[in-house]
A = this chain, B = another copy of it.
């Protein structure tokens, strides 16, 4: 840049000020000193109101998805709001069977946020995007007065491409007889956030499972498995996700409690706090629903991947005009698993 915009920011001790959201000199400086070097791609540096991108590959449709991230606290065991936003958005594109390509980032900063926290979060986003093979190509920053936010919120939109020929996974494609798989243990993210928030200590620290699932899904697709439904059980947990699918597909679901993987530390924390892990958010897990004859192959592929080591077949789709989710309990009984009601764990993502 030929002309300097102003005196250097104090990245160590400085705070976000209202002028950083003014659209004037301080905004431009924030973009040039933080966002452009961190996200580091040719598209972001264009310096215009938007970004010009190549079209999807021939024979591909577009996929678009969006998420606002308001997780509290901003930093938690296993991650922070920055990588969480990238993973969550990438996963929503991936759950459509699509390849994620481009992300946009809208920041709502609270006056007084430490600049070094903002920098750490932006670097975490950049690292997460690079690992997932996507680029953050456009952004916007607004600042609200102290007491009108909570550090920062990040809104993210993802755009990807989906081959015309792909029989795309969708919530209405579950069929009676289909197998239901989960890619790993349930409840890690929600319980990691909650223990951090409440200052609880357990013998085994619980880490968020936040991760991008595009590599894992690509391996299933490459193997030619027809993925009827893919869904990441985030807010509302596995219970709500399966209720959504049952409703969309007009089917019932039968789950086997003993086969649902849960870390002992998470199970203990849930028992201690009176929470049901079926309702706790995950940020690096997915539900796979496929024909029963593909289930063993899908399971083997998932278990061979670092993000699917503890994958399991946890139930099957059944014919049920009531669209109920039934759980066969360890005790041999059966109970209905309803949608999440109320919100026991707000601001989990």
Q: Which residue of the partner chain, among B68, B139, B141, B343, contacts A18 with CB atoms under 8 Å?
A: B343
Chain A 147-185 residues near chain B, CB threshold 8 A = 147-150, 153, 155-160, 162, 168, 170-172
Closest approach, in angstroms, between the C-beta of A247 and any C-beta of chain B?
7
How far, in whole Å, are A91 and B49 apart by their CA atoms in the complex? 9
Q: Does the CB pair B346–A162 fall under 8 Å?
A: no
Does A308 interact with chain B (Cβ within 8 Å)? no
Considering only residues 73-97 of chain A, those with a C-beta below 8 Å from chain B are 91-93, 95-96
Restricting to A256-306, which residues have a CB under 8 Å from any CB of B?
A: 281
Q: Do A65 and B51 contact each other (CB < 8 Å), given the known contacts A24-B236, A28-B244, A343-B18?
A: yes
Residues of B within 8 A of A144 (CB): 70, 150, 153, 347
Kindly list chain B residues whose C-beta atoms are within 8 Å of the C-beta of A157.
64, 66, 104, 106, 157
CB < 8 Å neighbour of A22 from B19, B61, B342: B342
Q: Is the CB of B24 within 8 A of A67?
A: no
Is A108 within 8 A of B153, CB to CB?
yes
A53 interface contact, C-beta 8 A: yes
A336 contacts the other chain (CB 8 A): no
Q: Is the interface of A mostly helix, strand, loop or mixed?
A: mixed
Q: A340-B22, A342-B24, A343-B24 are in contact. Are A61 and B65 (CB under 8 A)?
A: no
Give A242 Cβ to nearest chain B Cβ, in Å.
Answer: 12
Contacts of A50 in B (CB 8 A): 63-65, 92-93, 95-96, 98, 158, 160
Q: Mark A44-59, 1 if CB is under 8 A from B, else 0.
A: 0011111111111000
Q: CA A91 – CA B50 in complex, angstroms?
A: 10
Our pick among B62, B281, B341 for the contact of A53 (Cβ within 8 Å) is B62
Q: Report chain B residues within 8 Å CB of A341.
A: 19, 24-26
Interface membership of A105, Cβ < 8 A: yes
Q: Say yes or no: is A137 at the interface (Cβ < 8 Å to chain B).
A: yes
Interface residues on A, range: 35 or more
Quote the shortest CB–CB distance from A122 to chain B (angstroms).
15
Which residues of the partner chain B approach A231 to less than 8 Å between Cβ atoms?
Answer: 49
A221 within 8 Å of B (CB atoms): no
Residues of B within 8 A of A56 (CB): 55-56, 62
Determine the chain B residues whose CB is within 8 A of the CB of A141 once the complex forms: 68
Report yes or no: A70 in contact with B108, Cβ–Cβ below 8 A.
yes
- Contacts A19-B343, A25-B339, A149-B149 known; A62 to B66 CB distance under 8 Å? no
Contacts of A62 in B (CB 8 A): 52-56, 62, 102, 159
Known: A19-B342, A108-B155, A149-B149. 13 other contacts (CB 8 A): A3-B247, A24-B236, A24-B240, A25-B340, A47-B172, A47-B244, A49-B91, A50-B93, A55-B56, A55-B61, A56-B56, A68-B141, A144-B347
A residues with CB within 8 A of B = 1-3, 5, 18-19, 21-28, 46-56, 60-70, 91-93, 95-96, 98, 102, 104-108, 137-145, 147-150, 153, 155-160, 162, 168, 170-172, 231-232, 234-236, 240, 244, 247-248, 250, 281, 323, 339-343, 346-347
Can you sample 11 A-B contacts with CB below 8 Å? A19-B342, A22-B235, A22-B340, A26-B343, A47-B244, A64-B137, A66-B104, A67-B140, A68-B155, A106-B155, A148-B149
Chain A to chain B: the 4 pairs with minimum beta-carbon distance, closest first:
A23-B235, A24-B340, A155-B155, A50-B65
